[in-house]
Amino acid sequence: MEFATVFCLIISLFISVPCLLKFLTSAGRRRLPLPPGSMGWPYIGETFQLYSQNPNVFFASKVKKYGSILKTHILGCPCVMISSPEAAKHVLVTRAHLFKPTFPASKERMLGTQAIFFHQGDYHAKLRRMVLRAFMPESIKNIVSDIESIAVGSLESWEGQLVNTFQEMKTYAFNVALLSVLGKDGVLYREELKSCYYILEKGYNSMPINLPGTLFHKSMKARKELAQILGKIISVRREMKNNHTDLLGSFMGDKEGLTDEQIADNVIGVIFAARDTTASVLTWIVKYLAENPSVLQLVAEEQDAIRKEKCGVEKVLTWADTKNMPITSRVIQETLRVASILSFTFREAVEDVEFEGYLIPKGWKVLPLFRNIHHSPDNFPEPEKFDPSRFEVSPKPNTFLPFGNGTHSCPGNELAKLEILVLLHHLTTKYRWSMVGPHSGIQYGPFALPQNGLPIRLSLKK
């Protein structure tokens, strides 16, 4: 990653004077030792190393040197990294109340301060209930054929073209997210929402300077427009008094009542959470299948069998079909493990916490390292090998965390798996593809991605 990008990240993500002060003053209160580790350069810490190296190498070399709990200093804050399954459970589940989610203030402002990710307690529980209601299998069962139409349309538009897989998957994931969040209104307002959303996204990782002309300023403006469009959709729905089973319907229907602003923050937040994550995973799957022809053949055979059964009237995929794709599902699981697109998540200690004989001082960030857990030979033998068959046996408890764990774990995981399965069904039964240009490198942004977003050429099977 370039210097400028890392610099922006530092400024925009975590630098805050209170954070530094907490670090300095907590030193006097320490009784227990801090975990072992190195804090890197003053202030900048080890941020460069984290964002300029292969994350597998960065984390693995640290864990090898210091053990499964270690201290470091990244993105302007002192941190404790933890890499054992038990420790991750401790932070995310058992003692989750001691470790609150934490995000840079600029990100909160951009997504909306009342969005689910930023909260704990009653308000979070209420939102989570509404989000889960919209994304539970019973609700998303009804949109399988709509997702299928989006998948078919996307693939048809790539046929014969050189396409950037990640960019195309982002469009696909965005359209599915709109459908699940706004139902048919998502289609009606798609172009308006899309143009605002794309501007918002561009400024997400920029310097948080809200002056005319800056990316951040443009993003904040686009965010305002998004909220206005959502306000329009909400008021039309109120007038029509129809019941909707999508996420907006869930937010609007709740007896406890959310304000329009709370609804907008959460709609924008959920679309954000749904899009690049799912698109990255799909991009990795396309790569791994191309590199592993024997696995691709097994997937294609499984999907062909489902397609052949559908030669009668009922040609569309059903929820039951998607639950009958064990080989393809294991490919998804193995991709989630190997690619570990979210290498870690952030929490913050709300008080001084004793942990395995060490002190985690109040205010320090705590990072459960999903990637290390997924790449430890203790949990997954030959961890670098792409081998979906390893999931024929369930992984050991707390060792497979692609969707996190505990109260903030991913409520969209069923939808993510569904939309991936539906797209893979049509991709592997109708098309072949080849990767174009170098593809062995990895880009490390917020999500790990194949080099250049994986350009591919797609053609119809003969």
Which amino acid is residue 158, in one-letter code? W
166-205 residues near ligand HEM, rule: CB under 6 A:
177, 180
Q: Does 47 bind ligand HEM (CB under 6 A)?
A: no
Q: Does 448 bind ligand HEM (CB under 6 A)?
A: no
Task: Compute φ and ψ for 123, nearest 5 degrees.
Answer: -65, -40
User: Least separation, in Å, of the C-beta of 130 and ligand HEM?
Assistant: 11
User: Considering only residues 87, 130, 299, 416, which one is a binding residue for ligand HEM as defined by CB under 6 A?
Assistant: 416
- Name the packing angle between helices 165-182 and 121-135 (round to 10°): 100
Q: Strand 347-349 and strand 99-101: pairing?
A: antiparallel
Decide whether 40 or 404 has the Cβ nearer to ligand HEM.
404
Decide whether 131 or 252 has the Cβ nearer to ligand HEM.
131
Q: Which residues contact 207 (CB under 8 A, 6 or more apart)?
A: 8, 11, 12, 214, 215, 216
For residue 95, the SS3 value is coil
Task: Compute φ and ψ for 459, nearest 5 degrees.
Answer: -140, 160
For residue 455, list its beta bridge partners. 164
User: Considering only residues 50, 63, 69, 116, which one is a binding residue for ligand HEM as defined by CB under 6 A?
Assistant: 116
User: Least separation, in Å, of the C-beta of 238 and ligand HEM?
Assistant: 24
User: Considering only residues 117, 197, 386, 433, which one is a binding residue for ligand HEM as defined by CB under 6 A?
Assistant: 117
User: Considering only residues 12, 206, 340, 345, which one is a binding residue for ligand HEM as defined by CB under 6 A?
Assistant: 345
Cα distances (angstroms) measured from residue 350 to each of 24, 101, 171, 200, 364: 16, 10, 38, 31, 8
* # residues contacting ligand HEM (CB under 6 A): 27
User: Least separation, in Å, of the C-beta of 105 and ligand HEM?
Assistant: 17
Q: Does 292 bind ligand HEM (CB under 6 A)?
A: no
Cα distances (angstroms) measured from residue 310 to each of 101, 383, 421: 46, 38, 16
77 marked as part of a ligand binding site: no
User: Least separation, in Å, of the C-beta of 383 and ligand HEM?
Assistant: 18
Q: Does 131 bind ligand HEM (CB under 6 A)?
A: yes
Query: How is residue 45 annotated by DSSP?
Result: B
**Which among 203, 207, 198 has a CA at the least distance from the CA of 9?**
207
Decide whether 52 or 142 has the Cβ nearer to ligand HEM.
142
Burial track 102-113 (b if 16+ CB lie within 10 A, e otherwise): bbbebbbbbbbe
- Name the packing angle between helices 215-240 and 190-204 (round to 10°): 150
Q: Does 126 bind ligand HEM (CB under 6 A)?
A: no
369-398 residues near ligand HEM, rule: CB under 6 A:
none
Q: Does 96 bind ligand HEM (CB under 6 A)?
A: no
The total number of residues shown for the chain amounts to 462
Taking phi first (over 0 means left), then psi (-120 to 50 degrees means alpha), and beta for anything else, what does residue 128 get?
alpha
User: Considering only residues 274, 299, 339, 366, which one is a binding residue for ligand HEM as defined by CB under 6 A?
Assistant: 274
Task: Find the distance separating the first CA and the last CA of the chain, reported in whole Å.
Answer: 41
Q: Does 273 bind ligand HEM (CB under 6 A)?
A: yes
Q: Does 404 bind ligand HEM (CB under 6 A)?
A: yes
User: Considering only residues 403, 432, 443, 451, which one is a binding residue for ligand HEM as defined by CB under 6 A?
Assistant: 403
Query: How is residue 456 annotated by DSSP?
Result: E
Give me the 314-343 binding string for ligand HEM, x by CB under 6 A, dash otherwise: ---------------------------xx-
User: Considering only residues 409, 443, 451, 459, which one is a binding residue for ligand HEM as defined by CB under 6 A?
Assistant: 409
Q: Does 45 bind ligand HEM (CB under 6 A)?
A: no
Contact 462, 179 (CB under 8 A): no
What's the sign of the alpha-carbon dihedral 155, 156, 160, 163? negative
- Rg (C-alpha) for the chain, rounded Å, is 22
Decide whether 56 or 345 has the Cβ nearer to ligand HEM.
345
Q: Does 411 bind ligand HEM (CB under 6 A)?
A: yes
Q: Does 410 bind ligand HEM (CB under 6 A)?
A: yes
User: Considering only residues 128, 194, 221, 457, which one is a binding residue for ligand HEM as defined by CB under 6 A?
Assistant: 128
Query: How is residue 34 annotated by DSSP?
Result: P
Please give the residue ranges that form the binding site for ligand HEM (CB under 6 A).
101, 116-117, 128, 131, 135, 177, 180, 270, 273-274, 277-278, 281, 341-342, 345, 402-404, 408-412, 415-416
Q: Would you list which residues are annotated within the binding site for heme?
A: 410
